[in-house]
Structure 1
Amino acid sequence: MNVNPTDEQLVAYLDNQLDTEQRERIDAAVAEDPMIGLRLQWLNRSSLPFKTAYDELGRQAPVDRLQAMLDTLPPATRPALNRRWFLAAAAGLVVSGVLADRLFLGWQASQEEDNWRQLVADYMVLYIPQTLDHLPNDVAAQRTQLRTIETSLDLSLAPAQLALPRAELKRAQILEYDGIPIAQITYLDPVHGPLALCITRSDSGSRHFARERRHGMNIVYWADMHHAWMLIGRNAMPDLEVMAKSLRSRLNT
């Protein structure tokens, strides 16, 4: 199995069609690469946009031709495929790799204003305290991680500016969705668990604080002239708003 599993292999993993060794390889890949975990979640969530898209593509796909090809294989060598895997393979014959990636990531051509917050929420819901509690509180390492964000998003960030009451800064990293960089600065709150400050580029202008809930998590978001920001966690909304206002004040100085 490849280090980076294909969508078909991940679907087989979700459908319990892999042997123990193959499952262990995917488990290891998920532990090493958060993006693979995100892909697994996308494939496992029936409510995401790609499911509807693939249903339509499946209706357009040459299913009869694929079935005829499969029928030519000796029974002993035929893979045990369910309809979900079969339609995904059929849809792959209809769309190009680039379009398939866009459907999978849920980044529609319109790039709706709140879509990046949904992507972050889909990712953050996977976090538990054990995801972060083993990470060292190394200020030198944090500064190095923040420099990566500064380069990608043209921001100047320092650990002191990012401090939150009670919560420990654990990691700063750059994620990328369809070529769009998103900074994720994660914290561990001893009471409420993981929370994150996330940032992406935005040219929609300055925006006051707003709030919402996704996946049972509270979100406070805002924007300046060049970036969109969001603070997401299971903390109470009033507490998140206080933290967000404090962050905005320090980051604008």
Structure 2
Amino acid sequence: MNTPSDEQLVAYLDDELDPGYRQQLTDAIADDPLLNLRVQWLSRSSLPYKNAYDELARQAPLERLQARLDAIPAREPQGLSRRWFIGAAAAGLVAAGALADRLFLAWHTRQAQDWRTLVGDYMALYVPQTLEHLPADEAAQRAQLRTIDARLGLNLTPAALKLPGAEFRRAQMLEYDGVAIAQIVYLDARYGPLALCVTRSNSGNRALAHERRHSMNVVFWTQGQHAWMLIGHNPANELAHMATSLSNNPT
């Protein structure tokens, strides 16, 4: 079947499709991990976005601006000068600018978290059997990495991506809502699937940080124009050691 649109998947979630097509989609979702992930992502559309923006609006410096306006001597309408109107407009711009800054920071933080959420959801579907059959020859690895390099402006090599106790199994490009994400997957002999993922970022250099997603440990950092994350069932300190080694390799 053709790749379903987001509108069709939303209709699927809302049980608005005819039974025949719904069954086709159910079978496709069960067979296609990426499609399964899209459905999971769309099912989260009920998150309280309005409440988040209401909170930002409440934090705007309205009281301070009102106090400044109250301090201006009252005048008759015909006595209002051009300077008064310019000052009032400037005050409005300050309020709008402060709110815009907060909204931008909230959006930027949300974007940084969303791509890690997406990767975490995808990795939760992996089991060792997902990767065992994949070829692991260096020629295939180099060809896969060239695709990533061309898309994200990197210079990756199998040697620079070696991790102790884990075998490089596949490198591939993913994309969600226009955001390109490279995924380099390993099979760790003790802990199973492990992934190094990267996307473009304009947040500057940031040190290693830790979190957990789907019972997996995550180490993430930004370097230059890229954001990185390492995710797997390995202990957090082991992942941190791997991430430090990877971040010290030139890309």
* TM-score bin, normalised by smaller chain: 0.5 to 0.7
Residue 152 of structure 1 is matched in structure 2 by: 151
Q: Deviation string for 1:55-108 (max 9, x for gaps)?
A: xxxxxxxxxxxxxxxxxxxxxxxxxxxxxxxxxxxxxxxxxxxxxxxxxxxxxx
CA distance in 1 between partners of 2:223 and 2:3 (Å): 39
Q: 1:110 to 1:29 in 2, by over 3 A?
A: same
Superposition deviation, residue 111 in structure 1: 4.2
Residue 51 of structure 1 is matched in structure 2 by: 46
Matched residues, number: 194
1:200 counterpart SS class: strand
**8 Å contact 1:12–1:18 — kept in the other structure?**
no
1:247 counterpart SS class: helix
CA distance in 2 between partners of 1:240 and 1:218 (Å): 8
Larger Rg: 2
Q: Deviation string for 1:150-178 (max 9, x for gaps)?
A: 01110000011101111111111111122
Residue 9 of structure 2 is matched in structure 1 by: 7
**8 Å contact 2:28–2:35 — kept in the other structure?**
no
Superposition deviation, residue 119 in structure 1: 1.4
Residue 235 of structure 1 is matched in structure 2 by: 234
Q: Which amino acid aligns with 1:133?
A: E
**8 Å contact 1:218–1:237 — kept in the other structure?**
yes
Q: Which amino acid aligns with 1:238?
A: N
Residue 71 of structure 1 is matched in structure 2 by: none
Correspondent of 2:107 among 102, 110, 114: 110
Residue 184 of structure 1 is matched in structure 2 by: 183
CA distance in 2 between partners of 1:18 and 1:160 (Å): 51
CA distance in 2 between partners of 1:230 and 1:137 (Å): 22
What TM-score, normalized to structure 2? 0.67
Which ranges in structure 1 are unaligned for 5 or more consecutive residues?
55-108
CA distance in 1 between partners of 2:47 and 2:114 (Å): 17
1:208 counterpart SS class: strand
**8 Å contact 1:197–1:232 — kept in the other structure?**
yes
Q: 1:147 to 1:42 in 2, by over 3 A?
A: same
Residue 220 of structure 1 is matched in structure 2 by: 219
CA distance in 1 between partners of 2:27 and 2:108 (Å): 31
CA distance in 2 between partners of 1:206 and 1:240 (Å): 19
1:250 counterpart SS class: coil
Q: Deviation string for 1:174-221 (max 9, x for gaps)?
A: 111221111110111121111100101111111111111111110111
CA distance in 1 between partners of 2:47 and 2:223 (Å): 35
Superposition deviation, residue 12 in structure 1: 7.9
Superposition deviation, residue 3 in structure 1: 4.6
Q: 1:29 to 1:229 in 2, by over 3 A?
A: same
**8 Å contact 2:212–2:218 — kept in the other structure?**
yes
CA distance in 1 between partners of 2:29 and 2:139 (Å): 27
Q: 1:110 to 1:186 in 2, by over 3 A?
A: same
Q: 1:43 to 1:139 in 2, by over 3 A?
A: same
CA distance in 2 between partners of 1:169 and 1:10 (Å): 37
Residue 125 of structure 2 is matched in structure 1 by: 126
Q: Which amino acid aligns with 1:125?
A: A
Q: 1:183 to 1:30 in 2, by over 3 A?
A: farther
Q: 1:29 to 1:147 in 2, by over 3 A?
A: farther
Superposition deviation, residue 41 in structure 1: 2.7
CA distance in 2 between partners of 1:167 and 1:248 (Å): 17
1:142 aligns with 2:162: no
Which ranges in structure 2 are unaligned for 5 or more consecutive residues?
50-105
**8 Å contact 2:210–2:217 — kept in the other structure?**
yes
CA distance in 2 between partners of 1:210 and 1:198 (Å): 15
